[in-house]
Each structure stands twice: as C-alpha cells, then as structure tokens.
Amino acid sequence: MVVNRVLDLVGKTPLLRLQLSNCKWDVFCKLEKFNPGGSMKDRMALNMINEAEKNGKLRPGGTIIESSSGNTAIGLAIASAIKGYKFIAVVDHHASPEKIKMIKAYGGQIVVVGDGYPANEVAVIEREQTARAISETMENAFYPNQADNYANRAAYIDTLATELIEELGNIDEIFGAIGTGGSLCGTAMGLKKQGRNTLVTAVEPEGSIIFGGDGKPYFQSGTGNPIGASIPQIIDYSLIDYNLYSTDAEAFNTCRFFAKNYGLLIGGSAGGVLYKAIESLIKKKGKGIAAIILCDGGERYLDTVFNDEWMNKNHLMDDCISRNLRDWLRGMNNGLISMGKRSI
C-alpha cells in the first residue's frame, strides 16, 4: 500500500492468530500497535480533530490542549504536526518517559501535573481541570476532552468494526480495554450497525470503578477510571455484555511472557485484556470466533513493565501467570501462530 501522508496509515492493522490448548475457538488479536503513533488512539485523535474542524471549534493556526496518559497525546501530536496546529499535552507520572519523548519529537509541548501522587494513582481530575483551564485562557484553542467527546467513540464505528468484519466475518465475541469507552463502545456500535450479534466483554484494571466497586490504586495506564473521576459520558453500558477485572500482575506478566516467548511486545493494558480473554475463552465449550483488541505496543513501557527492578520493587512478579499461559497456549511454538487474515 502506497499513501501520500502518515495519517493515511491510521487503521487497517494486522491480526495475529492464537492457538489455545483444548479449545475449539478461533482466536485473533487485533494489533493496534501498528498504527503510526503505536496505538489505537490514533484513530480517535484524528477523528476528534476532523470533527472539530467541521464544526468550527478548531480553526487554522489553533492550539489543541488535551489531558492524556500518553497515547492519545501522541496521536494528537502527529495529527497536529501534519495539519499545522500547535499541541499541548497535560500529563501526569503515568505518562512514561518514552511517551513524553515521543510527544516532544512530534513538536508537542508538555505540562506535567499530579505532583505528590503515589506511583499507582492517576491524576485524571487534575489533568482534565488543567487542560480545560489552559484552553480557556488561550485564543483559538481547542480542548477535545476525549472522555466526553462523541467523536472519540465515532472514530471506531466504521473503521475498527468494519475491519474486523471484513477480516473475520461473523464474530462471536470481542474483548477490549475500557477507559473513556470510546474504542470498545464505538466498535460495538459498528458491529451492531452491520447486523452482528457479537458479545462484548470489557476489561478494566482491578481497582477501576467503571462497573462499580470501591476502587483502589492501580498501575495500568490509559485504561479504567480511578476513584473520584467521573464516568465518561461516551460509555454506553447497554453495548457491553460482560466485564472482567485484570490485576496489574496479570497484565504485566502477560506482556513479559508474550515478549519473551512469542516476540510480541504489547503495552500493560493490552496485557490485561489478553490475559483475561484467554482465561475466559479457554473455559468455553463449542466453537466460535473471538477478537481481542490489543490497544498499543510495549515499546513505551520498557522502564516499567519490562524492567525487572521496577516489577520487583512493586511486588508484581508472579510466575503463576506465566505457568497458566504456558498451559493455555501449549503448541504455539510449533508454527500455530500467524499474522494476517483468518484464512492464513
């Protein structure tokens, strides 16, 4: 495929087929790390900008200010660089050094908030308040507010959902992370729009409050909703059939296992989705087709998830998770893993 600009490379990401032990389900991972910015957030970043241009909220020469844990900011920084906008990312300590360096590389500016928060807490409220305040003091500024921006959700209806249908046909169940709810709810809306009766399973960090509970701190970045934060307006609970919780240990040890055994480097929240999806599917009877949406790559978590010292310091190493995965994925080293469409 030959394109004329980087933004034309957003979407059309590949699939990776998994072979589960003693399971007749066909299982495919949608590798969103192959978007230009390394995550599925490129899709919504571009759509939020396009919609803001159409409705006049974003004018030539404007400045975009957004609260982000990193991936959305990277997508917005790329689109801003190409479209000629200035971009300011409001981040906290959950934005890894790698993400911050990427945002700066694309010409974005960084504002850091959340001083004094523990390492496993997210300063979402302070981030959002700061981004809004900055936008209100600047002329020709646009604050996308991804959590309540319906262009976030709309970005996936005719893209990710359509790609999955074209590649896999009828899909019995999809698994995906949930934070703002844009990607999972948007994909679910797209599947229903095209007449699919696909079950939708949301995976959030243990400690997130999207589906209730008292909540507690967690390390997983860019997913879930911490204590005290408002539930994003774009989450539509009627689109979600099941919800699962992933511990930080499950998420991060899954990332490490797939990197060392199968050469697949994925981000922390993607690891959580992958572990809970496999754990769920391995128990299912009969046959079906499942799609697991892996939101980003692991290249930006080298100092945390893939760092032995950091993992040990935070008491996150757990060999039991690796043993489970070895049992569930037995046989995958014998050529039973492939990339591409279902027929491969």
How many angstroms separate the Cα of 69 from the Cα of each of 66, 110, 219, 262, 322? 10, 12, 12, 27, 28
Tell me the two tokens of residue 242. 């099941």
Task: Give the residue among 43, 131, 125 at the shortest CA–CA distance from 79.
Answer: 43
- Cα dihedral 210, 211, 213, 217 in deg (nearest 10): -40
Q: Terminal CA-to-CA distance of the chain, rounded, Å?
A: 19
Residue 239 pLDDT = 98
Structural domains present in the chain = 6-36+156-327 (3.40.50.1100), 41-146 (3.40.50.1100)
Residue 162, judged by CB atoms within 10 A of its CB (0-12, 13-18, 19+), counts as middle
Residues 6+ apart with CB under 8 A from 74: 37, 38, 39, 41, 42, 45, 99, 102, 103, 106
Residue 12, judged by CB atoms within 10 A of its CB (0-12, 13-18, 19+), counts as middle
Residue 109 pLDDT = 97
Q: Is residue 302 classed as helix, strand or coil in its secondary structure?
A: coil
Rg (the chain; Cα; Å): 19
Determine the Cα–Cα distance for residues 253 and 250; give it in Å rounded to an integer.
Answer: 6
Determine the Cα–Cα distance for residues 148 and 155; give it in Å rounded to an integer.
Answer: 13
Per-residue pLDDT tens listing for the chain (344 residues) = 799 999 999 999 999 999 999 999 999 999 999 999 999 999 999 999 999 999 999 999 999 999 998 999 999 999 999 999 999 999 988 888 899 999 999 999 999 998 888 888 888 889 999 999 999 999 999 999 999 999 999 999 999 999 999 999 999 999 999 999 999 999 999 999 999 999 999 999 999 999 998 899 999 999 999 988 899 999 999 999 999 999 999 999 999 999 999 999 999 999 999 999 999 999 998 999 999 999 999 999 999 999 999 999 999 999 999 999 999 997 555 444 444 433 32
Q: What is the DSSP letter of 200?
A: E
